[in-house]
Structure 1
Amino acid sequence: MKPFRNYSLSEYTRVLSLKVPAPGGGSAAAVTAALGAALLSMVANYSFGKTGSRVKERKIKDCLRTSEQLRRRFLALVDLDAKAYLNFVKTRGAAPAKRNAARRKAAEVPMEVCKLCYKAVQLSPKLVLYGNKNLICDVRVALELLVAAFNAARVNVEINR
């Protein structure tokens, strides 16, 4: 089976809708975060080379580098979340200590999603200040996606702790 991050959007949402343990909410949170990071990258890509200032260009390039690193990591977390949850599911009927350890391990991925969403959100002020002013709406949509992903991942952390 190929990694979920390599599915088309149509394939991923179809599999997400099935009666299977994974992908689920944690994986969907990571996809949502990846979309937010991708929008930040888009704004940086449109803005780069257009500011007329080396300082601004450097800040935009830094935003682009970071948003791309985050986007790739969020996509990796789509699959890591599914794997962690499937490992937890395998502990059904196991000793409570083993099951609890697997549940706590499953909470690590959404916790990382939360931390990385926070990091991604911190890119937005620079893009609003130095980026293409016609794309402020896209920065705002990215923020909404990242906040939604953070909240979805937080729910998974709270339940799986």
Structure 2
Amino acid sequence: MGTIPGMEEAEATTQASTVEDWTRALAESTGSPGGGAGTGLMLAVAASLTSMVAGYSGGEDDGGKPSEIRTRAQALRREALQLADDDASASKAFGAAFRLEPGPERDEAVRRASLEAAASSAVLGERAIEAIDDLAWLATKGNRSLVADVVVAFGALRAAVAGARTNVSFDLGSLRSTGDSLDTVRRQQPDLWAAVQKLNGAMDRIDAVTARIDHRAAPTDSA
């Protein structure tokens, strides 16, 4: 059914839409939701799988670790979905800033939108980094029958980390359109600049952990 004239179609959100509706909205050429929101969704997938594996893991001598991991993962799933929706809203402001006529007003709007978007992606990236330890614990001490699920979770987590890293970097790079050089951006935004390198390191760590367990998850591939 088409949209009734004079009424806007309801905005798709991760918490109020079906998977079908949200991914259909993601497929549209609107940018909201876009890659940043997709990054949040990937983090939610990683958190969900972490919670599932933790729920199937545990023994008498684990000190309650799986239960702690599951609690953290469930909280992260909810936060990741909220971050995805927040990014979708920020994307609108980002696009609106670049549509303004060239001039001081546009430069200020672009600068503000770029920094807000970069900061949002950095928060998402930090949450993803915090999730690595729990998933790495499950990779070695969790239920061995679910190692394939751990690898899938790591794939989703890596996508979240890579997405956050790229979005922070791109948003900082967008400041060049206001006349700033990358050297200026690095001096003025040291924390956000450092976040990019931290996220690069996190991807390397995920790759290393995954490589150590891949022979168990995909035995026919390593044979």
Pair 1:147 & 2:158 matched: yes
Give runs of aligned pairs for residues 129-144 of structure 1, distance below 5 A. 129-144=140-155
Shift of 1:128: 2.6
1:99-152 C-alpha deviation (Å, 9 max, x unpaired): 211111011221112111111111122213332110111111101110111101
Superposition CA RMSD, Å: 1.6
Distance between the aligned counterparts of 2:20 and 2:77, measured in 1? 19
Aligned partner of 1:46 in structure 2 is: 56
TM-score relative to the length of structure 2: 0.66
The alpha-carbon deviation at position 2 of structure 1 amounts to 5.4
Q: Is the 8 A contact 2:12 2:25 kept in 1?
A: no
Asked if 1:80 is matched to 2:91, the reply is no
Partner of 1:69: 75
Q: Which runs of 5+ in 2 are unaligned?
A: 1-9, 173-223
Matches within 5 A, 1:2-151: 4-6=13-15, 7-48=17-58, 51=59, 53=60, 55-56=61-62, 58-91=64-97, 92-93=99-100, 94-151=105-162
Q: Is the 8 A contact 1:59 1:126 kept in 2?
A: no
Tell me the distance in 2 between the aligned counterparts of 1:73 and 1:65.
Answer: 13
Aligned length: 157
Contact 1:60 1:130 in 2 (8 A): no
2:21 corresponds to which letter in structure 1?
E
Q: Percent identity?
A: 30
How far did 1:9 drift? 1.4
- The structure showing larger relative contact order (alpha-carbon pairs under 8 Å, at least 6 residues apart) is 1
User: Which protein is bigger by CA-based radius of gyration?
Assistant: 2
**1: CA distance between counterparts of 2:163 and 2:137?**
25
Q: Do the aligned partners of 2:54 and 2:67 also contact (CA within 8 Å) in 1? A: yes
1:157 to 168, 174, 185: 168
Could you tell me which runs of 5 or more consecutive residues in structure 1 were left unpaired when the two chains were aligned: none
TM-score by length of structure 1 reads: 0.90
Partners of 2:125 and 2:161 within 8 A in 1: yes
Q: Which residue of 1 aligns with 2:175?
A: none
